[in-house]
Structure 1
Amino acid sequence: FAVWVKVLTLGIFEVISSLAVTGIVGQDVVLPCQISTRTQPDNMEVQWKKIIQTAIETVYEYRAWTGQDVPGQKYQGRTVLLKDGFTSGNVSLKLKNVQPADGGTYSCIVRSNAWSADAATELQIADSSAVLSR
């Protein structure tokens, strides 16, 4: 069960995400992000950023016009944009092999020629042994 919230609306498009998701150490987690259009915006760019107290860290960037995928330096080989969902507006990011340091606030930013919007979600980390003992 996910609670979806609208974080920012510009023009007729919205970007929505869940308030929080839980990742288990050593497993994969999907950071959800959905745009409210059924067609891929012109020259769409998707950015995922981690918001840290002292900085903003690039997790992943995708540019549709070049098809270029650019993982952040600390996330090489650990991120996959779920492009099969583009036709339904799904721009969620899979983060592989979750680590305790991955916990925090992530921002999904979607830009095109005509608009830009973003949404944030909190990744909470659970240890696999703690989950199994419940």
Structure 2
Amino acid sequence: MAVIVLLLLMCARKGQSQEMDSSQSVTAMVGEDVVLPCVLEPPKDASQMTVEWGRADLKPRFVFVSLNGQKYLADQNEAFKGRSSMFPDKLKNGDISLKLSDVRHSDNGRYRCYLPKEKKEYFVELVVGK
């Protein structure tokens, strides 16, 4: 029985996403612009990758999606339209950070930077002050 459980655990872990680094926290005040950092290590050209920024507590959960370096709006949460962006000139260096403009108190939360093809994810906690 123990062998079966061990094999199941090994198989389950194999398909899990990898975290690029430990979670971190970023603080911003209402009305400010903030950058949620996410950088590939080692640096790798991300200009042709799909990058998903999201929050699990939102519906739809996507804050920003980039397909091959281009902004994809179809599944983006309305609250972030016109306020979220990436830095196209930094993608070649593996910088897939997200910029949020005009931060609101409702932006508080745990954001996930995810690379579907790489199966890597990174978490950033945004704490918004008054």
Q: Quickly name the TM-score band, shorter chain normalised.
A: 0.7 to 0.9
In the alignment, which residue of structure 1 is the partner of 2:108? 103
Q: Structure 1's 33 and 41: CA in aligned 2 closer, same or farther, altered over 3 A?
A: closer
The alignment status of 1:122 with 2:101, answered yes or no, reads no
- What TM-score do the two structures reach when normalised by structure 2? 0.74
Q: Structure 1's 22 and 87: CA in aligned 2 closer, same or farther, altered over 3 A?
A: same
Q: Indicate if the aligned counterparts of 1:16 and 1:33 stay in contact, CA closer than 8 A.
A: no
SS at 1:33's partner residue? Answer: coil
- Tell me how far apart the structure 1 counterparts of residues 27 and 102 of structure 2 sit (CA, whole Å): 13
Which structure has more strand as a fraction of its residues?
1
Pick one of 46, 57, 74 that aligns with 2:79: 74
- Tell me how far apart the structure 1 counterparts of residues 93 and 120 of structure 2 sit (CA, whole Å): 17
Aligned residues: 112
CA-based RMSD of the aligned residues comes to: 2.4
Percent sequence identity over matched residues?
29
Q: Indicate if the aligned counterparts of 1:16 and 1:35 stay in contact, CA closer than 8 A.
A: no
The alignment status of 1:85 with 2:84, answered yes or no, reads no
**Structure 1 unaligned regions, length at least 5:** 1-7, 128-134
Q: Indicate if the aligned counterparts of 2:108 and 2:128 stay in contact, CA closer than 8 A.
A: yes
Which structure has more helix as a fraction of its residues?
2
1:1-44 alpha-carbon deviations (Å, 9 max, x no partner): xxxxxxx63xxxx6347510001101100011111143325841
In the alignment, which residue of structure 2 is the partner of 1:24? 29
- What TM-score do the two structures reach when normalised by structure 1? 0.72
Question: How far has the Cα of 1:79 moved from its partner?
Answer: 0.6
- Tell me how far apart the structure 2 counterparts of residues 68 and 97 of structure 1 sit (CA, whole Å): 19
**Structure 2 unaligned regions, length at least 5:** 1-16
Q: Tell me the amino acid that sits aligned with residue 29 of structure 2.
A: I
In the alignment, which residue of structure 1 is the partner of 2:11? none
